[in-house]
Amino acid sequence: MSNYSAGLGKPGSGKRRIRDLLNQPDNRVCADCGAPDPKWASANIGVFICLKCCGVHRSLGTHISKVLSVTLDDWSDEEVDSMIEIGGNASANSIYEAFVPEGSSKPGPDVSHEQRMRFIRSKYELQEFLKPSLRITSGKACSTKKPSFLKSNLSTKFMDSFRSNSSSTKIFEEGMVEFIGLLKVTVKKGTNLAIRDMMSSDPYVVLNLGKQKLQTTVVNSNLNPVWNQELMLSVPESYGPVKLQVYDYDTFSADDIMGEAELDIQPLITSAMAFGDPEMFGDMQIGKWLKSHDNPLIDDSIINIVDGKVKQEVQIKLQNVESGELELEMEWLPLDQ
């Protein structure tokens, strides 16, 4: 651990501690490509990364790299402590890039997606640049020692995930996906949700896009839950609707479905791309997703530029259920923003 990061161990605001760590000189550039001013981090690996590298990290899956925004996401104390224990990009790269083979070079900020993806997979998923005695392979548990900073709880989980029986071919196929941007979905609240227990339900929301699956926290015994929780999805070049499902959490049996819906994200993305950099415009309406008999909208969903960001308020009626409505907000974050 660096002397700088040692001074960050004192109690305080998690986001402030992360921002302080980000100001460390080696963290002012992306750990993987050297792009300036990274705003994303892999909480379990312990590195700060740029938006383009963030897309590749997300494609690897959270079992390898759990990506969080320095400014947009909420950080747990455990995640903050893990980042600080590792010490930043220089400390992590001294392990993960200890043995870059001759003839191989680290990508720059403007490399192709394929080159970026190949390097990041080699570095973290395949562990090709680690000292051989530190590498952990899939299959039987390995008795080799981990570097000291990998003993943190989250980092240990990350390295132990290589022992799982998951197929490396599947991960490679996911890594080949090229992403065009990020979709931030804020699940605000539900209204008049269906009863699945004796008198109430314990609802949570699940979002699916491609092979990505994210979910909110469970709100106990509430048919009108308030989440105000942000979920971030990487949007591939060939994308479909975001599939949304609401479930009732059950401790001793399978969770019960409480309705579902599909969110058409094409109007948001098309409108955002048509206007380019939203910071060049004042607040204004730029698009609309129209209510129809074949979508779950309660009213037309307006797409606006608000404070330099492209946002869309969405109110939906859950499908295939007796009752229930959800209120959401979607925000588009292009990779070249």
Q: Is the pLDDT of residue 57 over 80?
A: yes
DSSP 215-267: E----TT-SS-EEEEEEEEEEESS--PEEEEEEE--SSSPPEEEEEEEE--HH
Q: Do 334 and 180 form a contact (C-beta atoms < 8 A)?
A: yes
pLDDT tier at 97, thresholds 50, 70, 90: confident
What is the rounded CA–CA span in Å between residue 322 and residue 313? 24
For residue 105, give both structure tokens: 């070079």
Residues 6+ apart with CB under 8 A from 119: 32, 106, 107
283-70-264 Cα angle (round to 5): 50
Q: Is the pLDDT of residue 7 over 50?
A: no
**If DSSP codes are grouped into helix, strand and coil, which group holds residue 95?**
helix
What is the rounded CA–CA span in Å between residue 129 and residue 138? 16
Say which range, 50-64, 125-139, 184-198, 316-330, has the weakest mean pLDDT.
125-139
Residue the block writes with tokens 């015994």: 221
What is the rounded CA–CA span in Å between residue 97 and residue 79? 22
Q: Starting from the edge strand earliest in sequence, which strands make up the sheet with 242-248, in order?
A: 212-215, 203-209, 242-248, 256-263
Other beta carbons less than 10 A from residue 76's beta carbon: 12
Rg (C-alpha) for the chain, rounded Å, is 21
Looking only at the bridges linking them, the beta strands covering 67-69 and 179-191 are: unpaired
**If DSSP codes are grouped into helix, strand and coil, which group holds residue 185?**
strand
Write the pLDDT tens digit of every residue in 191-210: 999 999 999 999 999 999 98
- Looking at residue 33, what is its pLDDT? 93
Say which range, 59-63, 118-122, 164-168, has the weakest mean pLDDT.
164-168
Q: Where are the alpha helices (DSSP H) in the chain?
A: 3-6, 14-22, 51-60, 77-86, 89-96, 113-120, 153-160, 168-175, 266-275
Per-residue pLDDT averaged across 321-326, rounded? 97
Chain centroid offset of residue 167 CA: 21
**If DSSP codes are grouped into helix, strand and coil, which group holds residue 334?**
strand
What is the rounded CA–CA span in Å between residue 230 and residue 74? 9
Q: Is the pLDDT of residue 284 over 80?
A: yes
pLDDT tier at 135, thresholds 50, 70, 90: low
Share of the chain above pLDDT 70, in %: 82
